[in-house]
Structure 1
């Protein structure tokens, strides 16, 4: 039986407005629920880390309804409302949980003066680096100084000098004179990454962030410390001094490194990607992602990128290559080698093509080591998508030895392969010369070199679509940068191949059209599901048809194979 978790709401008053908040909510999060842009400024607090209470920026004024000590009855004001007993000093909002009847002031004179004082102390030894600081434009100290500071400095002494350009690891550079000692990075390495490598040495204003002797910040989550640093102390060595953030366009996307499907943001300008950062999704990746996942955009400008449609090595138009592919497939004896790196929409097209030419269907695994956090053992983003679309009905094989035997026996005459190098999977170049090869992919490899037809495809950063992650949550991604000139969206070319196989004329295809078809044909998708209406955090699908599959993933941040299996097996409505 499924037990629903019941969250008890309590009533508190924030700046004169009554608000219902979940019991146990701290004041910072409670104020967010008021809406209207109301926030409590803070530096050290992070919703996914333990409470430190270092910065004292989140001061609020707190009071409770007064009661008669003898009778316990509420003491009322002249107007009949409960009389509030305000605390004589402000309290920090991060470590104060809401209680029934609590009253909070976030903008009183006491609160303003407290924030003003905290800001002044933080700026005493902070350098005026804003014109050259990488954090400018997304710096909380910069923002809060304008909102809560004095606007001038009373400090006339010399500032402390601390280390600059210190390499804490291969990907993170520290400018320590900017550090405000919030300890976010220290808590992250201890509590999330599980590698205790950072700490503070010395005392007071001479405190310095550093790595423990003999250690460095080199784990695969080190760049998350840059993301959560509220100032410009921790910087990305790769992104450092490359571009001002206010010039960059932010595009929501999905990390393709593994089946976790971490939510990301692509930061780009004029068709060039400058960085990738995590996007918060409490059901998938919280606010974190791997360093290796951030580096995937480097493949966009790789020298071996496929940019031309070709027939026997000769450049052709997309229509000409699609027409040639139709002739190959109509001849029969076809094998389709699918890919778990294709989007759900593309896999739906490959399933349609395979069905219309009665093709053998196969695919190979991309399994590797997981880290128990946000890198799963399945190093592909959309294995579940291939199952949901019906492209395949079994887990992938380790190699393609079975396909090689079919080719040798003359049972297969044409192979349509998607982003797979067949020469590394059991089919030699010599064997591939015995069949017609249609290669669809983003980058050149030995298979594309011997392919009769080459269809270049777009990378995830250049197209729109969706993936289904390890928890059967379908998540959409958007196009951040244009693809190579002349390369059409994959499903546009696939429509030119699949329609003629059914004796139909290719129709203009958009994501809306593809989703109408998928919703009508795929049982796993709701009938009214559309790509544009998918929630930003994704849509959970019914995984019960696949409960007999033994997926390779072990327990990680948001996935537990035991509870996942139980959820899939439980009868609907229990």
Structure 2
């Protein structure tokens, strides 16, 4: 593989790579504002300027400049090499590039940083970007001196509502045009543009339009400063108090990789952020996914219920075991959920087959929704494919098949995972099931119609594995502690099995996970017969 030298380090690159992309790939950060690995090159911020040594035997291209001589009190002519933007400069084999080791580059970056801050408001204490702002980071790294301009800064519009999700502050904007390119290139909706020139320019929305496409929050996410803020996150938390878990978005079958940002003091989740995975979502997430974190705290089932009345989790488990004891295996069915992880579904499948003796296995989940050709999948469940892998070589029956089995009287006892059903019009059928036990995270058709409800933790409160539409198995980390009396559904299954006199051999997430990695869940999860709870 060809290489070039960056600050005396050999950097491999692929054909067509720019200097900054090749450096980014090996973990070297060349300072930048406008460049983004997922967008076209704009080369307008000039923060990534580097010095390139000429080929052997050729003189360097030098520029005539004026430099201030403090001792003489005047500007004097000097020469300096022509610097080039690393985001636009194509790498070549044997090229020698200076970034951190060039005094000319250091002075240029300091000047760029000072220019960008000339009219910038000093409102860091109230800016949502504070703590993760490149202007702050690069001032300390590349400028680190007080503002020299004493003139009144240029004032521009503030708190401009661009649309339902985004607010714009033109005084903070450095016009890197990342937001413009996200709208045009990712969302395919060029609703943003730049008007005016020099220190008067700003981002504007097309006349008669709003910033309302399905990837509007990505404009805020890529903003390197605090010019664009999300209505949802605005003035709600300081980022230095937040911690991040590496998670999977459960909003649809794409399975975008994400960071779940939460405050460990309050155990509250405040936002999602995209996590780079070139095989799945690259650098992006849709607005639906970005805002799906709200379901972690909204409309939750946090306590047990029997006959619609609140009760303790233990009492609900006892009642569920009582209803299941002596049930005819031929009339028992388990309803797996594409909303839940492989661990939760594998545990329920084991309970149904090995403890209850049921052979009827069906699947439920959220109804289909709107999709697109970028990231949004019509299947709004994160683990539909995973259910088929668990039940293989067979396949779970559809929810339509489940409804027919209930209406015919063949299924009279059901242990269900999840809250939603894919056919909302069929909710009334659930009320006709003599024994319906639901392990639910949210209030929904299943938890509303169930005789007994066990409170299941959300995806943010437990480690879990989800298989996306492409068949890629991905692990999601626990972010916060289980809320209320909820517990991971696989633990609720274990407790229920103990109450029925058969304890599983697995005690941790890894134990459950090992049962479905390469083998059928039911066959692998052998019970310890005769062990009581």
Relative to the length of structure 2, the TM-score reads 0.86
Does 1:275 pair with 2:267? Answer: no
1:116 aligned partner: 110
Unaligned segments of structure 1, at least 5 residues = 1-8, 70-85, 524-574
Query: How much does 1:210 deviate?
Result: 0.7
CA distance in 1, matches of 2:404, 2:422: 14
Question: Conserved in 2, the CA contact under 8 Å of 1:404 and 1:426?
Answer: no
CA distance in 2, matches of 1:48, 1:428: 43
Question: Conserved in 2, the CA contact under 8 Å of 1:462 and 1:479?
Answer: yes
1:23 paired residue among 15, 21, 24: 15
Q: How is 1:497-512 mapped onto 2 (pairs within 5 angstroms)?
A: 497-498=496-497, 504-507=502-505, 509-512=507-510
CA deviations 1:507-539 (Å, max 9, x no partner) are 45111111222236249xxxxxxxxxxxxxxxx
Q: How is 1:390-401 mapped onto 2 (pairs within 5 angstroms)?
A: 390=391, 393-394=394-395, 397=398, 399-400=399-400
Does 1:57 pair with 2:50? Answer: no
Q: 1:488 to 1:454 in 2, by over 3 A?
A: same
2:136 aligned partner: 142
CA distance in 2, matches of 1:229, 1:520: 43
CA distance in 2, matches of 1:274, 1:68: 56
Q: Which moved more, 1:317-326 or 1:373-382?
A: 317-326
Match of 1:363, SS state, is strand
Query: How much does 1:433 deviate?
Result: 4.0
Q: Which moved more, 1:314-323 or 1:210-219?
A: 314-323
1:82 aligned partner: none
Match of 2:517, SS state, is helix
CA deviations 1:426-479 (Å, max 9, x no partner) are 656477345211112112235433422211111111111010111111111111
CA distance in 1, matches of 2:380, 2:346: 21
1:562 aligned partner: none
1:103 aligned partner: 96
Match of 1:264, SS state, is strand
CA distance in 1, matches of 2:447, 2:89: 61
Q: Which moved more, 1:273-282 or 1:384-393?
A: 384-393
Does 1:88 pair with 2:77? Answer: no
2:151 paired residue among 157, 160, 174: 157
Question: Conserved in 2, the CA contact under 8 Å of 1:346 and 1:491?
Answer: yes
2:234 aligned partner: 240
1:363 aligned partner: 363
Query: How much does 1:242 deviate?
Result: 1.2
Question: Conserved in 1, the CA contact under 8 Å of 2:18 and 2:91?
Answer: yes
2:244 aligned partner: 250
Query: How much does 1:277 deviate?
Result: 1.3
Query: How much does 1:299 deviate?
Result: 2.3
1:297 aligned partner: 293
Q: 1:51 to 1:438 in 2, by over 3 A?
A: same
Question: Conserved in 1, the CA contact under 8 Å of 2:335 and 2:414?
Answer: yes
> How many residues were matched structurally?
493
Q: How is 1:461-472 mapped onto 2 (pairs within 5 angstroms)?
A: 461-472=460-471
Match of 1:310, SS state, is strand
CA distance in 2, matches of 1:510, 1:491: 9
Q: 1:58 to 1:44 in 2, by over 3 A?
A: same
Q: How is 1:422-441 mapped onto 2 (pairs within 5 angstroms)?
A: 427=426, 429=428, 432-441=431-440
Question: Conserved in 1, the CA contact under 8 Å of 2:463 and 2:478?
Answer: yes
Query: How much does 1:28 deviate?
Result: 1.4
Query: How much does 1:418 deviate?
Result: 2.0
CA distance in 2, matches of 1:28, 1:317: 55
2:172 aligned partner: 178
Relative to the length of structure 1, the TM-score reads 0.80
Q: How is 1:481-492 mapped onto 2 (pairs within 5 angstroms)?
A: 481-492=480-491
CA distance in 2, matches of 1:294, 1:480: 16
CA deviations 1:108-137 (Å, max 9, x no partner) are 111001101111111111111112211111
2:75 aligned partner: none
Q: 1:31 to 1:391 in 2, by over 3 A?
A: closer
Unaligned segments of structure 2, at least 5 residues = 60-78, 522-533
